[in-house]
Amino acid sequence: MMRKTFLVWTCILLASGCHSSKYTDIRQEHAQNFPKELKERSQSVLAEFKRPLTLKDCVHLSMENGFALKNAEIQQRIAGLDRNISLANFLPAVSLDVKNIAWDPNPLIKFGGAGVAMHDKDVQEVTWNIKMAIFNPATWFLHGMYRRGYEIAGLANEYTRQAVAFQVTALFYQCLTMEQMEKLLEKQLAAAEVQAGELSAWRDEGLLTDWQAEQGRVMVLSKTAEAHRMKRAVSQAFADLLAAMGLAPDTPLTLQTETPLQAPEGTLEELMTEALLHHPKLAIADRKIDIEKEKVRIAITRFLPSLAGMASYIDTSDSHQIYSNYWMGGLAGTVSVFNGFADVNQYKAARKQQEAAFIQREQASLTLMVQVMRAYDQVQSAREMLDVADAVKKVAESRLNEIRDRHAQGLVQAGELLNLTAETDKARVQALQAKFQYQISIAALTQVLGRTDINFKDSKHANS
């Protein structure tokens, strides 16, 4: 008995080990092949472009290759198949039944003192059964539910496209802004090296002390670290953009400078109304209400009878039959006379779910109005901050030019020049950041209004 138990557990452990080994091999194969295949596909896709990618190009690639959109399209197809399946309830159900019967011994019936065969020894029967619902209201309402479900899947697909387009837009302008910041930091680093060299030369001439000249070297170290950090940040930003387009994150990519986005025109009230009219989330909420209405109707049909027509065509090879084939037909009706309190409570639950759908739509509308207000305010704030940042940058640059002239005349110390140079560099970076925030706030407002453009044509060969 102990030996048998040991063998059983050994088999179980071996089977478990084989099962684990199978998935280990699958994971290893996928880990080896996926990066390689993704890299090859990414290079092939980007090789078709003969110029730097525009924003429209990036959005178009995300629509073609993005995994989130592919999943949304699959869900839409599944909803379409469910809708088509529900159509089968309107069609007659036809089934074929074929029988081949062998009698051993052949059945006999007593007739006088002898036995008379009841059937042929071998009999073949072919039966066609046809059944069709004549009165079944639930069928119509069920189909209505699936039809609304298909519409929701289409709207969800559109909403996903808008969300992806907004994400790509934000990443696109982030990459452009960070590239400009990287170039700016490189220029600042080069200027800091020149300035550090000048300070070192003045120290050699006895015009500066060691610690004053050391300030120049410290500035070079600081600018070098900032340039390296920005270079890594630019690489990460491009990786995020490539991933949003469904491409390998380490693929080389060049972007074309775009015209800045324009803020949507109109008052806050007008923009709120536009969002309530066109945003996909509220269109989805409308369909959900219709689905709950169909559920209420289905709950009502549980109290009604269901009628179905039936017909059968039977053909037999039994030669003892006077008629070798014949039709049978009839009408069947089903009604639930008493099903406890299930039908009543299901009807009440369906009514409450319908009320909940109405409340959810109102809540979604209120949330959308708040989102429009917040996005609208962010655009205004970003615009003001951009104006301030540009003004600060212009003042800082003018002041720096003046201090440089005075420093060349020996009227300003090196420390003051270095401090003002750092402030000016900071003002330039803040102006770029403010410009980026303004563009992103415009894109966010456009997205919450449901205006995000997702219908970009393939323009990879244009202007090549």
Q: pLDDT tens digits for 385-414?
A: 999 999 998 998 888 888 878 877 777 666
* Lowest mean pLDDT segment, chosen from 3-7, 101-105, 236-240: 3-7
Domain ranges of the chain: 33-66+136-302+341-448
- Total-model pTM: 0.70
Q: What local confidence, expressed as pLDDT, does residue 461 receive?
A: 45
> In this predicted structure, what is the pLDDT of residue 463?
45
Q: For residue 377, is pLDDT > 90?
A: yes
Mean pLDDT of 317-326: 85
pLDDT digits (tens, 9 = 90+) for 345-368: 777 888 888 888 889 889 989 999
Query: Is-cis flag, bond preceding 260, omega within 30?
Result: no
What is the fold of 33-66+136-302+341-448? Answer: Outer membrane efflux proteins (OEP) (1.20.1600)
More confident position, 462 or 177: 177
Q: What distance in Å separates the CA atoms of residue 447 and residue 66, rounded to the nearest whole number? A: 18
Q: What percent of the chain has pLDDT over 70?
A: 89
pLDDT, tens only, 176-194: 888 888 888 888 888 788 7
